[in-house]
Amino acid sequence: MLFDTLDNLELYQPLLPLLQTVIEVMDKGDVYTMKDGSYATDNPNVRYSIGSYMTSSEGKRYEIHKKATDVQIMLEGEELMSVTWREAVKDATPYDEAKDIHFCDGDPLLVMHAAVGRFCVFFPGEPHKPGVPVVNPMACRKVVFKLLG
């Protein structure tokens, strides 16, 4: 897991080369005005989605991906994101290979305050729970990049 400001995103590119595509998309600035939905990039190993939602504590579970690395960037609003130990998850749902996801419960190991200008990278196998309110439910907008490979 990585958590930092967008100003430092390129520092991690040697560790995760596919971040170059994320940087190029973010530098264009279009994500701030694009409609919610799923999008492709020129790189077949990088796709992204933009979504608007209300933060909520109701029914939130950790999600785990086996193939994709998530790069989550807040466009509007703020939320809490937490991670837990992979070895300590419980009550996991069956893995959905088509969506590369399964859900589970666990106790938070680390909680981050995600806000505009920050990003978080969750690597495959890292249980993470985004979308939790900082204090009260809030309208948010986020872009989530999926890096494969």
Write the pLDDT tens digit of every residue in 53-78: 999 988 899 999 999 999 999 999 99
| CA 91 to chain centroid | 22
Q: What is the overall mean pLDDT for the chain?
A: 96
3-class DSSP assignment, residue 48: strand
Give the pLDDT mean for 80-106.
Answer: 93
* Cα–Cα distance, 76 to 84 (Å, whole number): 25
Residues 31-57 have pLDDT tens digits of 999 999 999 999 999 999 999 999 998
- Residues 48/55, Cβ–Cβ less than 8 Å: no
User: In 10 A of CB 65, how many CB atoms?
Assistant: 21
Residue 121 is predicted with a pLDDT of 98
SS3 labels along 83-119: ECCHHHCECCCCCECCCCEEEEECCCCEEEEEECCEE
pLDDT at 88: 84
Position 28 confidence tier, pLDDT thresholds 50, 70, 90: very high
